Structure 1
Amino acid sequence: MTDGATRVFTWEEGARIEVRNLGGEIVIEANAAGLKTLAGHLLTLAQDGTPDGAHLHLEENNGLEEGSVGLVLERCDDE
């Protein structure tokens, strides 16, 4: 809940998401369920009424596959 707005981040069954840092680029590798999950998370953050700065942390063993680097999805409405 942020600023009185409750946001629910849901996971597709069987979602697998791995994030790798290859130095000059970040690779997000996911199965179909994982891609749908990420898309849903982004759409949740994009909902009207979601405040600037609302974010979701994904980490190894907390949504991401073992060996993944952390990933933060954050809404930023500043230009």
Structure 2
Amino acid sequence: MIGIKNLTKQKSRDILRQKKVYEAKIAKLKKDLAILKNKGNLEIQKLLNMIDDVLNVIADEDCRVRNVTYRGLT
């Protein structure tokens, strides 16, 4: 009986040790994911700003072309 109790205690300690390792790995992965998410959000925001700038330039040029075309018709 003493051998079985010791084996059970050892197994319980091993399980707790593995649980702590697992929880530490999960915490690190969550932290890494949050960092990647923030980095991705910043990159997406930069791209959206660039697209907005390009669309503004296109709109300005379109207005200039329309003004030139309108002046040529009158």
State if a TM-score over 0.5 links the two structures: no
> Which of 1 and 2 has higher RCO (CA within 8 Å, sep 6+)?
1
TM-score where L is the length of structure 2: 0.26
Determine which structure has the larger helix proportion and give its number: 2
Determine which structure has the larger strand proportion and give its number: 1
**Structure label with greater radius of gyration:** 2
